[in-house]
Structure 1
Amino acid sequence: MSESVEQTTQTLIDFVAMYGLQVLAAIIILIVGFWLAGFAKRKSHKLLMKSPNADEMLAGFISAIIKYVVMAVTFLAVLNKFGVETTSLIAVLGAAGLAIGLALQGTLSNVAAGVMLLFLRPFKVGHFVEVGGQSGVIKGVSLFTTEMATGDNVQIIMPNSQVWGSAIKNFSAHDTRRVDLVMGISYEDDMDQAMATIEALAKADDRIKQDPAPVLAIGELADSSVNITVRLWVNASDYWGVRWDITKKVKETFDEKGISIPYPQQVVHHVKEG
């Protein structure tokens, strides 16, 4: 029994003597490698954001790639420490990657679409967009998905391939937007007076730009109203505020001036037979 214990002890001592330093070195490499990966990600992100054309999504993507590259080099260094032939391992991983890629074509299409979104940048973080039948504020783009938040702060996560394969309507791409309104008045009312009233309200609001100047025109002679088309240019951030305020002020001013906004109505003629 004592001889068996001595043999086991000796075997452990020989194992530690043979592989102890390699295990210790591998642990040190892992610790340093993981620290370097995190440091490289933070540093590269910080440097990229200093660029005048910096973009949060692109900086996050590139810094993440740098982190994964450092981690991959770290794992190869650890395997090499144990005598594993990394060259043959890379070849095996390449073949396996090809097989996995064929099996995961949909996933890889999301990665490809994510790369296109990050480099071509049809939108940025914070932009309000409409894409794939969904609309919301862009929160971020990863390799596989695009995250948005709706106006009532509901999270939407869409596959990148669906985003890239759809028409993207970006409401925040330009500094200015046009507010389009249609104001209906009665056929008995004075059209020129109504248009002058709306124009005065547009000039009195500092948020409405005078260059390009507001456009007012008779857009349609509808069934029950004369429709005035109103087009106003504003800063993108003022779009909804101006739209709501002008609509309210037009109604209040029309009431004061006796200009009516008719309800939809139809005139029915009853013909009596015989």
Structure 2
Amino acid sequence: MEEALKEFSTWGPRLVDLGTNLLVALLILIIGWWVSSLLGGWVRRAASRSSKIDPTIIPMFYSTVVWTVRIFTVIAVLARFGVQTASLIAVLGAAGLAVGLALQGTLQNIAAGIMLLILRPIRAGEYVALSSGSDGTVEEVGLFLTRLVQVDGIHLTLPNSTVWNATITNYSRNKTRRLDIPVPVRYGDDLGVVLAKLKTLVDANPDALKDPEPQVKVFDYKENGIIVNVRVWAEASKYWDLRWGLYQQIRSALEEAGFQPPIPLREIQNPKTGAAA
């Protein structure tokens, strides 16, 4: 019995210290995780309210703040158990180098994400098309991935390196866009009347900008008719409304005025008689 008491008196304080360290470490971990989420949320809200901060970089700011606090929290927890943080940092550095060599593609995505945020060829809310065949409205440029929302509501997630290495066509960066509509006119129709009617129709459209002035000009001659080009500028947000509206109005207005669309004609000759069939 006396030996058991001696053993307990020897191990008791150690167990108490271990339990205390576990409790304190758990408390540090919980508080650190809570503080990281709190600071991340505060940074996101503050950045969202500022007109000087591009919305595209807000997710990266949030992730950086959150994981910086969490890494320091884990180091503090390990230090509570007597782990030498200097040695730990050296080990983490060596491990980071090894992981970096193994994950070169991931590092390329990080580097591409940083370049996208610095040079900003795309921003949140802009509609873009990539030479890889993807297109959509930019929702987020993260540390590893870029998220697009296509016109049919489908979310598209791409590695940052894919976006960075592609040719980017940005349809939203400029405030205005030009619309060109080819209108075929039959040979023999009064071209002057057609041009005047199209000019009147375009000038009356509220979505068509007056500066630059709309242009209605003869553009080309085809086998089956003359091509008249209707060139008009619109605000980027109203481009598709103007396009859809003009395509319908032009055809309806010309048909009401008695102008029918050209019909392709082909002459087939009989090889025996040489006469047209």
Secondary structure of residue in 2 paired with 1:172 = coil
Q: 1:7 to 1:241 in 2, by over 3 A?
A: farther
Distance of aligned partners of 1:135 and 1:208 in 2 relative to their CA distance in 1, 3 Å threshold: same
**Comparing 40-49 and 234-243, the one that deviates more:** 40-49
Gaps of 5+ in 2: none
Q: 1:244 to 1:14 in 2, by over 3 A?
A: same
5+ residue gaps, structure 1: none
User: Secondary structure of the equivalent of 1:163?
Assistant: helix
| Residue deviations 1:39-58 (CA, integer Å, cap 9, x gap) | 11111122222322222221
**Match of residue 120 from structure 2:** 121
SS of residue paired to 2:28: helix
Separation in 2, partners of 1:259, 1:205? 21
| AA partner of residue 85 (structure 1) | Q
Compute the displacement of 1:108 (Å): 0.9
2:91 maps to which residue? 92
| Other-structure match for 1:105 | 104
Q: Which amino acid aligns with 1:169?
A: T
Give the structure-1-normalised TM-score: 0.92
Is the deviation greater in 52-61 or in 36-45? 52-61
The 2-side partners of 1:255 and 1:7 are apart by: 109
Q: Give the distance between the partners of 2:227 and 2:194, measured in 1 at CA.
A: 11
Change (3 A) 1:3 1:263: farther
User: Over aligned residue pairs, what C-alpha RMSD do you find?
Assistant: 2.1
Q: CA deviation at 1:179?
A: 1.1
Q: Which residue of 2 aligns with 1:51?
A: 50
Per-residue CA deviation, residues 176-217 of structure 1 (Å, 9 max, x unaligned), is 111111000101111111111111011111110111000121
The alignment's TM-score, normalised by the length of structure 2, stands at 0.91
**Cα distance in structure 1, aligned partners of 2:179 and 2:192:** 21
Deviates more, 1:262-271 or 1:208-217: 262-271
Q: Give a deviation string over 1:218-254, Cα, whole Å, max 9, x none.
A: 1110111100111111111111111111111111111
2:187 equivalent in structure 1 = 187
Q: 1:51-79 CA deviation, whole Å, 9 max, x = no partner?
A: 22222221221121011111111111111
Q: Per-residue deviation at 1:270?
A: 4.8
Identity %: 35
Aligned equivalents of 1:7, 1:158: Cα separation in 2: 65
Preserved CA contact (<8 Å) 1:215 1:232: yes
Contact 1:184 1:225 in 2 (8 A): yes
1:61·1:118 contact (CA, 8 Å) conserved in 2?
no
Partner of 2:201: 201
Asked whether the equivalents of residues 59 and 141 of structure 2 are also in contact (C-alpha less than 8 Å), the reply is no
